[in-house]
Chains A and B, each alone.
Chain A
């Protein structure tokens, strides 16, 4: 199987029972997530990220279109045995952490003895081995999120679907999750996650999709996204600023940025003007800049709701 997750022209509209107002959360949305990759879903609040995840998990039905989870149509219960899911703002029953993980594992049909070992194992992976016998109702939000991750991994899933997995975690725990995701990918698992922590996404994701107003605004490999529109900063001396747009003079040097593809021509121009090139450095765009550019709204834009 090549695709772990497929959305095919999915549209999802929310309608209220007593009103004609409809809100289109996903609009003719198509996407494929390949097996063995870490795929990240970005988007502002209300872009449709969680809606897409909930459709894939079968929590809701699309208004039109459809899709497949590990080769089976959305909503089929048996396929979820091979999936691990962590919801945004995880909510768990008030039980001891180990019992809680065992409860969720048992729902997936794991036998008693292997489940006992596996529950301890996953709690150790998320760093909660010392809290296994504490009531999860008394946990902090970060600890709850770790238990949520443990229950998502208890069945050793082929596909992990994580909605904001690091939102409540401290920096140390974020590193732990990052390493966990990379280890899972190296073990051949597929990870589909949504996040607002763009720096984290840059570090772990193979591909990124930016969702905006229910549609994919940008989709590419993380490296390609960061490279696209890349610029080069050139520092030179013995040449006037007037020859180059945006050049700034400082301490006898001038510096300016040019598109990466014109870098060579610019350097040759400096030489032809009798100047000397001091340094040429690529300026890497951050995912945050790309995200802000893609999701920038004109101030006059109306609501995404349709009547």
Chain B
């Protein structure tokens, strides 16, 4: 477990600049929200909140899709995998790292959302539930992206991830809402995007639990694929 944690923390540390930039953006928007008339501008605040929530989903795909590629290209992966670290542990570290990076963002978004939206009358418990949904969605999206990144470059990995996450979303629009639960990133995202002051919505933990289980399944699949991939790259 220790190597997994070390790799995860190291990954989050390596992403500190994009994370910090995102956090500053969230804090800036929250500050602007607080200096306005919260009650009059509450719909705008909710819109900004939802917009920030979408960013982190996109970033989770970016983090997951580029993680292995960047490590291979820089050859740093050789230093890590030359130690007593299995490839499965390495992938676990990356999944956890992506989750930590997104969770830090979601925590900040939840905190600022509690100040701004909470002040405008949105239930604070609901804000934190939405953040849990968002972290679960990011964890799953990041893991799917990571799986593709074991054998594709980041551009194709992101494209393939978008397809895998998008097909159930499309199916749910055509064939019914149940299809949204196949890979519930869309469902979880929709939970956040459909929230409103008038109807904050009912907290359903089913997609969250499904996302957790599917993260595990995609992680196992990634590990199986990654075990057969040559990771050494020629010196440029």
Contacts and interface: CB of A to CB of B under 8 A. Distances in A.
B37 interface: no
A106 B2 contact: yes
Interface residues of B, number: 25
A85 to B, nearest CB: 4
Given A59-B230, A59-B231, A108-B84, A87 B2 contact: no
Contact of A61 (B75, B86, B228): B228
A57 B86 CA distance: 12
A104 B7 CA distance: 10
A274 to B, nearest CB: 62
A93 interface: yes
B78 interface: yes
B3 A107 contact: yes
B78 A87 contact: yes
Contact of A80 (B14, B74, B82, B228): B82
A60 B232 CA distance: 7
Nearest to B93: A107
Given A88-B235, A91-B75, A104-B79, A77 B85 contact: yes
A190 interface: no
A60 B10 contact: no
Contacts of B79: 85, 87, 90-92, 104, 148, 151
Contacts, number: 79
Nearest to B73: A91
A83 interface: yes
Interface string B173-202: 000000000000000000000000000000
Given A61-B228, A61-B230, A103-B6, A81 B84 contact: yes
Interface of B: 2-3, 6-7, 10, 14, 74-76, 78-87, 89, 228, 230-232, 235
Given A50-B232, A90-B79, A106-B3, 11 more contacts: A59-B230, A60-B232, A61-B230, A77-B86, A80-B83, A85-B78, A87-B75, A87-B79, A91-B75, A106-B6, A108-B83
